[in-house]
Amino acid sequence: MTFGFAKIFWLLFKPGNLLVFGFLAGYLAEFTPWRRIRRLGRIVLGATLGAILAVAILPIGSWLTGPLEDRFAAPAGLPERVDGVIVLGGAIDLRRSVDRGTAELNQHAERMIAFADLARQYPKARLIFAGGSGSLYDQKHKESDFAPRLMADLGIDPRRVVFERESRNTYENALYTKRLIGPRPDETWLLVTSAFHMPRAVGVFRAAGWDVMPVPVDYQTSGPGQASLGFDLTGSLRLIGLGLHEWVGLAAYRALGWTATFYPGAKPAPGSK
């Protein structure tokens, strides 16, 4: 129920869809016999146009997504000993992969590149790919069905990798992967996912009792103080969608008790105040 509600909610409230709904409501209002409704429709049309211009010009996406990406710094150095590496699904375009019969990557492909690099750095580490299907309509096909061939193409022996294929969201990534692996408290595990997604991912792994070391990749913004004006409606909408989706997800996960804090962050170094 929670999974289905989340998918329907986001379908209705994605920024681009809201702009379409605004134009449609304003346009249809012109055909009503009520003057007040027509006046309200023109206000909605004007507000929608203003929102489109603001989205295209202002760095709203960077303002939303940047703080998420900066929440966990990329590690200055990795441990000498690593027991395992986890990469979260989301880099495989499942629909196109099914249609084409091969693993098709999307804009988050850097997750897989980083995972392959870490697999080579730590040849004795256990490797986990956590990815089922986030589709509301298709739970038959899974990212993990296409991941083995992708691993082989990246130079990783698929036999080294444990594929968790039942998870539908980040919460289930952590829950099912822990059940599958049974990590010990003294082990060191690296978690690879997109930087904007890392706060929510670390939050659910911590809540599951698994203290992972974050390795953020796939940055979408240029960093603190680098946001600037531009004119790119489609790019801005995509970035706003990423950031807004994560902030809503953080709030929902905290409300559901899936994370211990609303905005998980890096733990202070031992001995710091």
Per-residue pLDDT at 96 = 95
Residue pointed to by tokens 């000993």: 81
CA nearest neighbour of 245 among 194, 209, 208: 194
Per-residue pLDDT at 10 = 81
80 neighbors 261 (Cβ within 8 angstroms):
no
pLDDT at 121 exceeding the cut of 90: yes
Structure confidence by residue, pLDDT tens digits, 86-99: 999 999 999 999 99
Determine how β-strand 189-194 pairs with β-strand 126-130: unpaired
Which residues on neighbouring strands pair with residue 85, listed in sequence order? 127, 190
Structure confidence by residue, pLDDT tens digits, 15-29: 999 999 999 999 999
Rg over alpha carbons for the chain, rounded to the nearest Å, is 21
Per-residue pLDDT at 273 = 46
Structure confidence by residue, pLDDT tens digits, 30-46: 999 999 999 999 999 99
Per-residue pLDDT at 60 = 96
Instruction: Indicate the pLDDT class of residue 4, thresholds 50, 70 and 90.
Output: confident
pLDDT at 129 exceeding the cut of 50: yes
Q: For domain 78-219, give its CATH number from 3.40.50.2300, 3.30.1360.200, 3.40.50.620, 3.50.50.60.
A: 3.40.50.620
